[in-house]
């Protein structure tokens, strides 16, 4: 009950202040960012982070959460109307959203996507309010041994899930990110590593210049490589007519909300997996699976509910373990640290008011997303008439200004451009960028806890395996790696085929 009163007080504090106007414009900005193909939620949050340095810390985090939620939702617009997902999280939405639009039911598809996104955010918000305090209490039992394995688990799992066809590429990207994080003075003795006598390298690579480069600058390079394109929005029917019809799909949105939230909690997995897994689950549970991919309302609702539920889900490990659940959550974690906040297991003890403020921020951002999504469909679609190439000049300027503004170093601008090239080359060669970013974020956590653990155990590595919680997480890491091996996957597939064949024979 104490938590509930904290939540209502936080909701009223935002609702009765000037922050409500902030919610509206920040969510609208997020929707616009999400609608423009290529401008991902990660890029949106990273760019806006560079503009929040002068803001009060709670207002800054409110802006970033609104942009995050708005961008994940906004990407569904282009997925439905143009079959071009605005963000990777909306790729599953295009499977049924675009066929619905081609059938002249674009208004219905928009309403379903908007309502599903709102319901998903609400399910995730409830999970955030309920699970995060429990997880923070459980995490108090974690020591440096457990946090080391948690960082490894996040990178291994993220690498495996973001590169399903070739997990090795995902793992290479993740451990490349760890290597980047090792550059600069280490925290215990201030010894400069991998600096090669260059003074700027002794400070290490800043997280935000790396993020802005890998996502923003890389996108500029990718667009410059493509031929010029002009996006033309299609006609939209009545949006409001079908909004309430989604309520009758209770099983779909509730199941998708829970799945999406869980996918958000898993370190590094994020919103796109939340959408795909929710979509697959809805298809398996449907009585008419043949409709999926041909304009299924159920399928669109599942995808949009799943990706938005992953947003508050991704905030759970950010707040309680200081480990991001997705790439945009990694930027948000960096922003919290920049603004003097300290997420982690002690947050419910030292900053309980801030935690419930974050839950209230998710609530208001979701409400703004619902209202803006239903009322401003047609005006927002004019954004799609702007040439994407024209936006790239402005995006590059924001990347440069944002990278420079953090510490006032030209070196950070070069870091941003350098990682823009790295991100572009990784895309071209089929390496996922998200594990690299997660590696950069988790690098200091892994490094500090590894050395702290070895100091506590007097150099004995066996304690990483003999401690109960640490041993379980280590076993999970090994399990993920083993299950990703082609030999094991073929053996499992053969075993399943034999069992299925045996069942049919006996039947």
CB atoms within 10 A of CB 49: 26
Q: What are phi and psi of 56, to 5 degrees?
A: -65, 145
Location of structure tokens 């675009």 = 98
Q: Is residue 99 part of a domain?
A: yes
Tokens of 167: 């997990």
Q: Are residues 230 and 384 in contact, defined by beta-carbon separation less than 8 angstroms?
A: no
Query: Within its chain, how far is the Cα of 284 from the centroid?
Result: 25
Domain assignment present for 160: yes
Does 495 fall in a domain? no
Residue at 477 is within a domain: no
Per-residue pLDDT of the chain (507 residues; tens, 9 = 90+): 566 777 888 888 888 888 899 999 999 999 988 887 667 788 888 888 888 888 898 999 999 999 999 999 988 887 887 777 777 788 888 888 888 877 877 777 888 888 889 999 999 999 999 888 888 888 888 888 988 988 888 888 777 776 767 888 889 998 999 999 999 888 777 788 888 888 888 888 887 788 788 877 887 888 777 665 444 444 555 555 555 666 677 888 899 999 999 888 877 677 888 888 888 888 888 888 888 888 888 888 899 999 999 999 999 988 988 888 788 888 898 888 888 888 888 888 888 888 899 999 999 999 999 999 888 776 766 666 667 667 778 778 878 887 887 678 899 999 999 999 999 999 889 888 878 888 888 888 888 889 889 888 888 888 888 888 899 989 998 998 888 888 888 888 888 888 877 766 665
Tokens (6 digits) for 113: 């996507």
φ/ψ (deg, to 5) at 164 = -60, -35
Distance CA 168, CA 171 (A): 5
CB neighbours (10 Å) of residue 228?
9
Can you give the pTM of this predicted structure?
A: 0.80
The count of domains in the chain is 1
Measured CA to CA, the distance from residue 367 to residue 121 in angstroms comes to 9
Q: Which of 68, 82, 59, 84 is nearest to 33 (CA)?
A: 68
- Long-range contacts, 231-235 (Cβ 8 Å, 24+): 231/37, 231/78, 231/82, 231/84, 231/384, 231/385, 231/388, 232/384, 232/385, 233/81, 233/82, 233/381, 233/382, 233/384, 233/385, 234/81, 234/82, 234/101, 234/106, 235/106
Residues facing 130 on adjacent strands: none
Does any domain span residue 492? no
Query: What is the CB neighbour count within 10 angstroms for residue 1?
Result: 5
Only one residue has tokens 């379980």, namely: 472
What HEC string does 168-182 produce?
HHHHHHHHHHHHHHC
Domain that holds residue 229: 2-188+209-466
b/e map of 126-160 (b: 16 or more CB within 10 Å)?
bbbbebbbebbeebeebbbbbbbbbbbbbbbbbbb
Task: Report, in angstroms and rounded to the nearest whole number, the Rg of the chain calculated over CA atoms.
Answer: 22
Domain presence at residue 500: no
475 belongs to a structural domain: no
Whether 302 is in a domain gets the answer yes
Q: How many C-beta atoms lie closer than 10 Å to residue 351's C-beta?
A: 17
Q: What 3-state DSSP class applies to 142?
A: coil
């Amino acid at each position: 009950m104490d938590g509930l009163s904290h939540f209502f007080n936080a909701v009223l504090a935002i609702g009765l202040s000037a922050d409500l106007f902030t919610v509206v414009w920040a969510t609208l900005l997020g929707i616009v960012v999400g609608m423009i193909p290529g401008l991902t939620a990660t890029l949106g949050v990273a760019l806006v982070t560079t503009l929040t340095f002068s803001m009060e810390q709670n207002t800054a985090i409110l802006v970033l959460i609104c942009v995050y939620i708005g961008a994940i939702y906004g990407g569904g617009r282009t997925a439905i109307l143009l079959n071009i997902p605005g963000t990777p999280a909306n790729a599953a939405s295009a499977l049924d959203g675009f066929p619905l639009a081609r059938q002249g039911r674009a208004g219905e598809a928009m309403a379903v996507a908007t309502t599903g996104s709102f319901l998903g955010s609400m399910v995730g918000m409830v999970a955030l309010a309920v699970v995060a305090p429990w997880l923070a209490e459980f995490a108090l039992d974690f020591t440096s041994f457990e946090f080391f394995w948690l960082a490894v688990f996040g990178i291994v799992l993220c690498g495996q899930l973001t590169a399903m066809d070739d997990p090795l590429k995902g793992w290479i990207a993740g451990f490349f990110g760890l290597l980047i994080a090792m550059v600069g003075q280490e925290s215990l003795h201030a010894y400069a590593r991998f600096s090669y006598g260059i003074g700027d390298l002794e400070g290490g690579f800043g997280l935000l210049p790396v993020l802005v480069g890998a996502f923003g600058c890389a996108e500029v390079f990718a667009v410059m490589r493509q031929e010029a394109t002009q996006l033309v929005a299609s006609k939209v029917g009545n949006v409001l007519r079908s909004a309430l019809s989604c309520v009758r799909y209770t099983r779909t949105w509730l199941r998708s909300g829970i799945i999406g939230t869980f996918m958000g909690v898993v370190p590094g997995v994020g919103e796109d997996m939340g959408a795909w897994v929710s979509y697959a689950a809805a298809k398996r549970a449907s009585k008419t699976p043949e409709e999926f991919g041909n304009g299924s309302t159920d399928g669109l609702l599942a995808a949009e509910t799943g990706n938005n539920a992953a947003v508050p889900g991704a905030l759970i490990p950010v707040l309680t373990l200081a480990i991001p659940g997705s790439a945009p959550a990694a930027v948000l974690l960096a922003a919290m640290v920049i603004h003097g906040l300290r997420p982690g297991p002690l947050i419910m003890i030292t900053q309980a008011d801030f935690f419930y403020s974050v839950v209230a921020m998710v609530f208001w951002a979701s409400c703004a997303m619902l209202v803006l999504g239903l009322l401003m469909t047609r005006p927002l679609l004019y954004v799609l008439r702007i040439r994407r190439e024209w936006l790239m000049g402005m995006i590059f300027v924001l990347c440069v200004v944002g990278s420079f503004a953090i510490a006032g170093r030209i070196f950070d601008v070069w870091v941003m451009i350098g990682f823009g090239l790295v991100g572009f080359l990784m895309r071209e060669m089929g390496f996922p960028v998200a594990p690299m970013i997660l590696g950069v974020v988790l690098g200091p956590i892994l490094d500090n806890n590894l050395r702290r653990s070895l100091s506590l155990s007097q150099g004995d590595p066996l304690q990483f395996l003999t401690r109960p919680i640490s041993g379980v997480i280590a076993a999970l890491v090994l399990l993920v790696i083993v299950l990703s091996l082609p030999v094991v996957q073929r053996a499992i597939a053969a075993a399943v085929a034999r069992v299925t064949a045996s069942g049919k024979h006996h039947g």
